[in-house]
Amino acid sequence: MNEEKDFLEKEPVGKLLLRLALPTVTAQIINMLYNIVDRMYIGHIPETGAMALTGVGVCMPLIMIVTAFAAFVGYGGAPRASIFMGKGDHTSAEKTLGNCFVIQILISILLTAALLLWNRDFLMAFGASENTIQYGVDYMNIYAIGTIFVQLTLGMNAFITAQGFAKTGMLSVLIGAVANIILDPIFIFGFGMGVKGAALATILSQAMSCIWVLAFLFGKRTHLKIKKENLGLQAKIVLPSLALGCSTFVMQASESVISVCFNSSLLQYGGDIAVGAMTILTSVMQFAMLPLQGLGQGAQPIISYNYGAGNVERVKAAFKLLLKASLCYSILLWLFVMFFPQAFAAMFTSDASLMEYTKTALRIYMACLLLFGIQMACQMTFTSLGKAKASILVAVMRKFILLIPLIYIMPTLFTSNQTMAVYMAEPVADFLAVSFTAILFTFQFKKVIAQMTTSSSSKKEHVTI
């Protein structure tokens, strides 16, 4: 085995998780700040800032769908590449990388065409008005051209992290974020391009990140390299990768659907202030979700590689450590939200009435956040083990089977305060989803460990004979 790859199998699990998770968590936080700073600049455009921010805000569901497609390919193919590496099957690992690279280019072409042709129709369906639609169209017309950079940066970066190059993966995000923060004011204010300038800054930043990612994967430092002979699509490589990426795709793409469901229901029962509070609640939820995803991405190469290599104890140790770290983070953030909700609300608004309203809504909406470490640790481990069906099931269960129906059911059950009942749909769905996921994971993980133990014993007996 190559010594450079040996650390995934030999280095102490605690030290290894810290080494891999710290850059991935940092990358997620940088990505979160990336979006917030972008909105701040747009919101401060003279005279038209409020309308421009609303128009671009309506673009967010479309942007979520674009990034979801990147995760569909990257977060499905990368764990499988890690598993192949653990098994010593370097050829299949590189074929997975090459095939996913081609698939992402094809998806980028289709998405670009769809966004250029129908972005106005999409934006009107997502809630744009005649006053804000032109800002949204101006933004999406330029953003659509850079779709390929978004796809390749996010999707291919997963293959860098999956090999254990977490710092390189973090730099991929950092390059784009810093470039965007610098270019935004230059194009928006310096060149007077407004919303178009923000979109241009975004795609140029993504292009820089894309060049960095591809230069690494075509270069000498990487263990897995993009090669011409691996670009021919093979169903046995592509389909299992896409199946495994389905759960991440469902999680991210469904945020668009859920956003529309929440906003329509809240507008009906609570008006504009309820919808405004929801914008803050989803932003605070990002503080919970993205670092937890970063922890899971840091643990993924350890679990996937050692699962492929048949190292039972390291797989168990990595999961236990991921679970403990995820729970500690979710409980700590939950305590901050429960005791200091106004501090979180003040980060996003200075309006006294909205801040006061958001305090109550935040405590209700985030009531089950302390359990979310369990959900994310189990869900990310399913993906790391290549368990596509289980991973898809827990994602669909929380978002579609539980949350969306509850958004409409809860106000009919709690008629005294129907607006707060809508917010209550989130913790009820979370509690039921965590319970379901924990039970399913317990049975599935025991089964995986038993299979690994049996396989390991058979190999030892074969060697003895």
Mean pLDDT over each residue of the chain, to the nearest integer: 83
State the Cα–Cα distance between residues 26 and 291, nearest whole angstrom. 8
Residue 129 CA: distances (Å) to CA of 48, 65, 134: 15, 21, 9
Interval 398-427 mean pLDDT: 91
**What pLDDT does 3 receive?**
46
How many helices (H) does the chain have, and how many strands (E)? 18, 0
Query: When comparing pLDDT for 438 and 307, which is higher?
Result: 438
Which of 366, 362, 365 is CA-nearest to residue 424?
A: 365
Measuring CA to CA, how many Å separate 54 from each of 25, 136, 166?
Answer: 29, 8, 35
Q: Is the pTM of this model over 0.85?
A: no
pLDDT tops 90 at residue 364: yes
Q: Which two tokens stand for residue 37?
A: 């700073």
CA atoms of 324 and 302, how far apart (whole Å)? 16
Report pLDDT for 423. Answer: 93
How far is Cα 245 from Cα 248, in angstroms, rounded to an integer? 6
| CA-to-CA dists, residue 370 to 293, 373, 423, angstroms | 15, 7, 17
The whole-number average pLDDT for the span 174-195 is 87
Write out the two tokens for 100.
């996913």
pLDDT at 2 over 60: no
At 50, is the pLDDT very low, low, confident or very high (cuts 50, 70, 90)?
Answer: low
pLDDT score of 348: 63
Residue 218 has what DSSP assignment?
T
Q: H helices of 188-234, where? A: 194-217
Whether 453 has a pLDDT exceeding 90, the answer reads: no
Max CA-CA distance within the chain? 81
What is the reported pLDDT for 463? Answer: 45
Q: Which residue from 175, 196, 155 is spatially nearest to 41, judged by alpha carbons?
A: 196
On the question of pLDDT at 4 being above 50, the answer is no
- Band the pLDDT of 406: cuts 50, 70, 90: very high
Give the residue-averaged pLDDT of 152-170: 86
Give CA torsion, residues 159, 34, 399, 128, to 10 deg: -130
Mean pLDDT of 45-51: 66
> In terms of C-beta density within 10 A (0-12 exposed, 13-18 middle, 19 or more buried), how is residue 86 classed?
buried
Using CA atoms, how far apart are residues 58 and 56, in angstroms rounded to an integer?
5
Examine the pLDDT at 340 and tell me if it is beyond 70: yes
Helices (H), 386-417: 388-396, 404-413
Asked if the model's pLDDT at residue 388 lies above 60, the reply is: yes
Q: Which amino acid is at 136?
A: G
Domain boundaries defined on the chain: 11-233, 246-454
- Model confidence at 351, pLDDT cuts 50, 70, 90, reads low
Q: Report residue 36's pLDDT band, with 50, 70 and 90 as the boundaries.
A: low
Mean pLDDT of 41-63: 69
Weakest-pLDDT range from 35-49, 211-225, 299-313, 396-410: 35-49
pLDDT given for residue 1 in this prediction:
42
Q: Give yes or no for residue 302 having a pLDDT over 50.
A: yes
114 pLDDT above the threshold of 90: yes
**Mean pLDDT throughout 406-434?**
92
- The number of angstroms, rounded, from the C-alpha of 200 to the middle of its chain's C-alpha atoms is 23
